Chain A
Amino acid sequence: MYQYDKYDQAMIDQRVAQYRDQTRRYLAGELNEEQFRPLRLQNGLYVQIHAPMLRMAVPYGLMSSTQIRKIADVSRKYDKGYVHFTTRQNFQLNWPALETVPDILAEFASVQMHAIQSSGNCIRNTTSDQLAGVCDGEVEDPRPYGEIIRQWSTFHPEFAYLPRKFKIAIVGNPDDRAATQVHDIGLHLVKNHEGEVGFEVLVGGGLGRTPILGKQIRPFLEKKDLLSYLEAILRVYNRLGRRDNKYKARIKITVREHGINHIRELVEAEWVEIRDQLELDQKEIDRVKGFFTEPEYEVTAAEDDSFAKMQVEDKNFARWVKQNVVAHKKPGYKVAYISLKAPKNPPGDVSAEQLDVIADLADEFNMGEVRSTHTQNLLFSDVKQGDLYALWLRLETEELATPNIDTLTDMICCPGLDFCGLANATSIPLAKEINERFDDLDYLYDLGDLKVKMSGCMNGCAHQSVGHIGILGVDKKGEEWYQFTLGGSSEADASLGQRLGRAIPKDDVVDTVSTLVDTYLELREQDEPFLNTVRRVGVDPFKERVYADN
């Protein structure tokens, strides 16, 4: 993975010093609340209902075991001993004291981590495919470009005060695992007719109260033009994006209001002016790629026969393998998901003790690396199949082996009203109730791939608009109600969910999920997945069943 040199390190150390002084000036009354807000936000610090919340960046979801141990240490020392992983591969501390945040940032800086631009109206952390570099069918590993974009966007002097937040996601595999179509910019590594690798560029996707899928602005962009093209898009947006209404300030609205063709004309005109000056050198691409080379895979890894044997002997292991382990491009290696969705666990939460174990296991079985996924889980990307049983036993002891990846209980869920100052409704307690209702694993497997996403407000942090089942908490006269959508997807076949009907009271949410699932089981043809059934029959049959009784 990428290692900081003295320049990278100096920059984050100086950021800590800068933020320490900003905090000091705020506490001394030299900066008022309004002046301090954008400064703390660009350092990932929100002020929530109970306490501040600090969001740390995990560039393209990659962490070392050293960093994981530091996360555990910091959460014990400065917080309540756990952290929460988000839908953008970052993690959050839910209870830090505002005064200690500079110290926390200094601790993280010592292991090359930062909170730079993890919030605020600026270019946010670039996210990517959690299987980057290890999956089959990848055009190229997207992570070096993720790092190049991280450096370009970090402290970009022109784009620190955009109309609204700006999120970029990049993938190298056509199976889009980073929800690129619902990002402000989505980048797909593709090959052109001449066999050269470059980027397809999408712009103007987004979720929140107005979910829109991104539109193609350029079918093929040469690698050397990556940064000049991004800069051109950002400059056009910085000048043109609306600043009169924060709900209309995202680039998705700029694109909608002006039309993709007009935006393309503006961007291309801007790009022509700057492309030579901002050309990305092949030498720099190669330098960064040098940090993401393949590890030395053991050629004998596939000769192991214990993996097959243990699946026969231990059906719990076999079940975990079937659900939480996926293919690796190298024979004898596998990718293992670490589920952060144990039944009683708030989705995405992980304790300091669990993190310590994960760090040890990463050193023992996964070359010292851990990845975060946009579905709020972790994963080990390079496990020898012969090590999987030993790994599983340890994960099982720590309640990190719930075999539910991509099932109904692998729910994406925002912190909701229990933590978040923006939320209108709770989400975590409902997730728990849903888990209790759907605790039969065989039943879950029969339901198959079923992505449930639940957000406590319009901001849609849990991406409910692209959930197979989306659940959105709304406030009606002080009461919590929930709006359901069906048929959304954030993958290659992305689509926005359609509204089921009027909002449902909190007490009926779990029953509604049951009714939806029962209806699907009646309607599905053979092994048809939930999403396909919804797409085939539409929302109406589900609607009739859910609203039949009232």
Chain B
Amino acid sequence: MQIIKDKEIVEDNWLHLDDEAELAAGNITVSLARWQEQHETLANHESGLGLRLTGADPLEEVVPDLDSFSLIVLDFPAFTDGRCYSFARLLRDRFGYKGEIRAQGDILHDQLFYMTQCGINSFEMANPNRIESALAGFDDFTESYQTTVLKPAPLYRRNR
């Protein structure tokens, strides 16, 4: 499957493992429940390990383990569910997470600009057929007023 990563279309090399599925070789992501249950086994996984979070998960509890993950997948069950925008900002700004943060679920062209500002850098699009045209979404705006993950000072301090 193709995804967008760092504003480019790339082939995805991660497997999202169901809680019941057997461990597989290669890069895998697991749910928080599975991580909490099997973290000792998973910590020895030879390839990349990623964690999937939903907006209902207790983000702060995961913080001590962040170094174990090279990918964090944030779930957007509906694109109107904005909880994980806050998760992304906290992961970047407060908890210093430097790995890949990926948005998964109902991800449309029209959310890419905001999501990027919040620190999300890869995207599994809801409609992979339009992935090419979705790239335009990154350039919807050239500026933003706020302090964001990408812009650590507000517009007025940078430019006015």
Closest residue of chain A to B156 (Cβ to Cβ) is: A284
Given the interface contacts A14-B140, A38-B79, does A30 sit within 8 Å of B145 by beta carbon? Answer: no
A21 to B133, CA, bound (A): 11
Instruction: Contact check, B160 vs A30: say whether CB atoms are below 8 A apart.
Output: no
Q: Which residues of A contact B140 (CB under 8 A)?
A: 14, 18
- Whether B135 is near chain A, meaning CB under 8 Å from some CB there, is no
With a CB–CB cut-off of 8 A, which chain B residues contact A278?
Answer: 147, 154
> Could you say which residues of chain B place their CB within 8 Å of the CB of A158?
82, 85-86, 89, 114, 117-118
Interface residues on A, range: 35 or more
- Cβ of B115: which chain A residues have Cβ within 8 Å of it? 157
Question: Is the pair B80, A157 in contact by a Cβ cutoff of 8 Å?
Answer: no
Give Cα A22–Cα B85 distance, bound, in whole angstroms: 22
A162 CB contacts on chain B under 8 angstroms: 82
Assembled-state Cα–Cα distance A248/B154 (Å): 33
A35 within 8 A of B: yes
Dominant secondary structure of chain A at its interface with chain B: helix
A309 contacts B by Cβ under 8 Å: no
- Chain B residue at minimum C-beta to C-beta distance from A273: B94
CB-based nearest A residue for B141: A14
Interface membership of chain B positions 42-66, coded 1 if the CB is closer than 8 angstroms to chain A and 0 otherwise: 0000000000000100000000000
A157-B114, A160-B114, A287-B156 known; A7+B82 contact, CB < 8 A: no
Nearest Cβ in chain B — how far from A455, in angstroms?
25
Interface: B68 (CB within 8 A) = no
Chain A nearest CB from B35 CB (Å) reads 20
Cα distance A199–B67 in the bound complex, in angstroms: 41
- B80 and A121 form a contact (CB under 8 A): yes
B41 CB–A CB distance under 8 Å? no
Question: A507 near B: Cβ within 8 Å?
Answer: no
* Contact between chains at B157 and A239 (CB < 8 Å): no
Contact B145 A155 (CB under 8 A): yes
Q: A7-B155, A18-B140 in contact; A287/B160 too (CB < 8 A)?
A: yes
A48 touches B (CB below 8 Å): no
Over the window 1-29 of chain A, the binary record of Cβ atoms lying under 8 Å from chain B Cβ atoms (1 yes, 0 no) is: 00001010011001100100110010000
The CA of A193 and the CA of B79, in the complex, are separated in Å by 47
List residues 126-160 of chain B with CB under 8 A from any CB of chain A: 130, 136, 140-148, 152, 154-157, 159-160
Nearest Cβ on chain A to B95's Cβ, whole angstroms: 11
The A243-262 residues at the B interface (CB cut-off 8 A) are: 243
In the complex, what residues of B have CB within 8 A of residue A284's CB? Answer: 154, 156-157, 160
| Contact of A157 with B146 in the complex, beta carbons under 8 Å | yes
Q: Chain A 150-164, CB within 8 Å of chain B: the 1/0 string?
A: 011011111111100
Give, as a whole number of angstroms, the nearest-CB distance from A30 to chain B.
7
Tell me, yes or no, whether A543 is within 8 Å of chain B by CB: no
Judging by beta carbons under 8 Å apart, are B108 and A35 in contact? yes
By the criterion CB–CB under 8 Å, are A5 and B160 in contact? Answer: yes
Residue of B nearest to A122 (CB): B82
| B69 CB-CB contact with A under 8 Å | no
> Does B157 contact A157, Cβ atoms closer than 8 Å?
no
B120 vs chain A, min Cβ distance (A): 10
Could you tell me if A30 and B130 are in contact, using CB atoms closer than 8 angstroms?
yes
Asked whether any CB of chain B lies closer than 8 Å to the CB of A300, the reply is no
Residue of A nearest to B136 (CB): A21
Does any Cβ of B come within 8 Å of A103's Cβ?
no
Chain A's closest residue to B114 (CB) is A157
Q: Does B18 lie at the interface of the complex (its beta carbon under 8 Å from any beta carbon of A)?
A: no
List A contacts of B142 (CB < 8 A): 10, 14
Q: Tell me whether A39 and B82 are in contact in the complex, defined as CB-CB below 8 angstroms, given that A157-B115, A281-B156, A281-B157 are known contacts.
A: no
Cβ–Cβ < 8 Å partners of A224 in chain B: none
Give the complex CA separation of A161 and B76 in angstroms: 11
The residue that A161 contacts in the complex, of B81, B93, B113, B152, with Cβ under 8 A, is B81
Seen from chain A, the residues whose Cβ lies within 8 Å of a Cβ on chain B are: 5, 7, 10-11, 14-15, 18, 21-22, 25, 30-31, 35, 38-39, 121, 151-152, 154-162, 235, 238-239, 243, 273, 277-278, 281, 284, 287
10 smallest beta-carbon distances between A and B, as pairs: A161-B82, A157-B117, A157-B114, A151-B145, A284-B156, A158-B85, A18-B140, A238-B86, A14-B141, A161-B80
For this complex, 17 residue pairs linking A to B, each with C-beta atoms less than 8 Å apart, are A11-B145, A18-B110, A30-B130, A35-B79, A155-B114, A155-B144, A155-B146, A157-B85, A157-B118, A157-B144, A158-B82, A158-B117, A161-B79, A239-B55, A239-B86, A273-B94, A281-B157
